[in-house]
Amino acid sequence: MAKMLAYVLGRRPDEFGLVTDSEGFVKIKDLLKALGEEEGFRHVRQGSLDEILVTIPEAPIEIQEDRVRAKDRAHLAPHAPPETLPKLLYTCVRRRAYPVVLENGISPCNYPMVLLSSNKDMAKRIGRRSDGTPVMLTVSVDKAREAGVCFLSAGGCLYLSQAIPPSCFSGPPLRRLQDEPTSREPRTVPPAPPAPKLPGSFFPDPAEILFGEGGGRKDKRGKRPEWKRGRKRMQRMERKKGPRL
């Protein structure tokens, strides 16, 4: 795990949809979300990072409050203007924020700058960390540059920008998006199983003890059991005889 963290934080955070700040830090919650998407590392929690600091003499990471970074950052690519840019970039926004984004443009949310990707799958992967059904937007790089937007390379297929005006990106029609179901069916919780009986024991029905087999309940035809009808007949006969002297 320590070697994995050294690679993610010190060499290629972009492979996992992560961006380091100016000091090389990544928010711990963002790191845990990214590792949770990787097979074999979904069990990693905050305590796992603390354990590395305690058990490894030369731990490859260091933690400050809610941030973590690699000690060796010599191979970390700097954020710099790219030599070439793709024609289209992609980013995702939360579904609830989409109407505001259409009106005001794309602003930074989880990062100090807007995080974009030239790969649709990576853009979806990043977007699902904050919304289970994010809205993907397509940014026209040429229109954005004409509007004065500057882009920085964040390594691999990731790019950063300050903000993107509404005229520089496109997305699905708002009306169609509102008609799509967003909530999943409620999860049904199965009833709790009955408590197991102790070996060699049984729990008698109180009605069976008082009234015999059947417990005073009606049969399938809606009639009372024979013993109860007989008792009613005896009570009627006693009343006809009158009180005893």
**Domain total in the chain:** 2
Residues 99 and 156 in one domain: yes
Q: What is the pLDDT at residue 109?
A: 84
Give the length of the chain: 245
DSSP three-state, residue 201: coil
Residue with the bigger pLDDT between 59 and 218: it is 59
In a domain, 95, yes or no: yes
According to DSSP, residue 173 is labeled -
Residue 24 has pLDDT above 90, yes or no: yes
- What confidence category does residue 10 fall into, taking pLDDT thresholds of 50, 70 and 90? very high
Q: What is the pLDDT at residue 184?
A: 47
Residues 16-26 have a mean pLDDT of 94
Average pLDDT, the chain: 83
| Dihedral angle over CA of 103, 123, 110, 15, nearest 10 | -160
Residues 100 and 156 in one domain: yes
Q: Which of 146, 178, 210 is the last residue of a domain?
A: 178
What CATH number is attached to the domain comprising 159?
3.20.170.30
The two tokens of residue 45 are 């929690």
In a domain, 78, yes or no: no
Residues 98 and 171 in one domain: yes
Residues 30 and 99 in one domain: no
What CATH number is attached to the domain comprising 30?
1.10.10.970
Residues 92 and 148 in one domain: yes
Q: Report the largest interatomic distance among the alpha carbons of the chain, rounded to a whole angstrom.
A: 120
- What confidence category does residue 178 fall into, taking pLDDT thresholds of 50, 70 and 90? low
In a domain, 28, yes or no: yes
In a domain, 207, yes or no: no
Q: What is the pLDDT at residue 240?
A: 67
- Which residue range forms the structural domain that includes residue 157? 88-178
Contact call for residues 91 and 139 (beta carbons, < 8 A): yes
Q: What is the pLDDT at residue 185?
A: 44
**Beta strand ranges found along 107-157 (DSSP E):** 114-117, 135-140, 151-153
**Beta strand ranges found along 143-217 (DSSP E):** 151-153, 158-161, 169-170
Q: Which of 31, 34, 22, 33 is nearest to 49 (CA)?
A: 31
In a domain, 29, yes or no: yes
Residue with the bigger pLDDT between 221 and 172: it is 172
Residues 96 and 159 in one domain: yes
Q: Which of 93, 1, 92 is nearest to 43 (CA)?
A: 1
In a domain, 234, yes or no: no
Residues 71-79 have a mean pLDDT of 93
In a domain, 208, yes or no: no
Q: Which of 178, 196, 226 is the last residue of a domain?
A: 178
Tell me which amino acid residue 193 is.
P
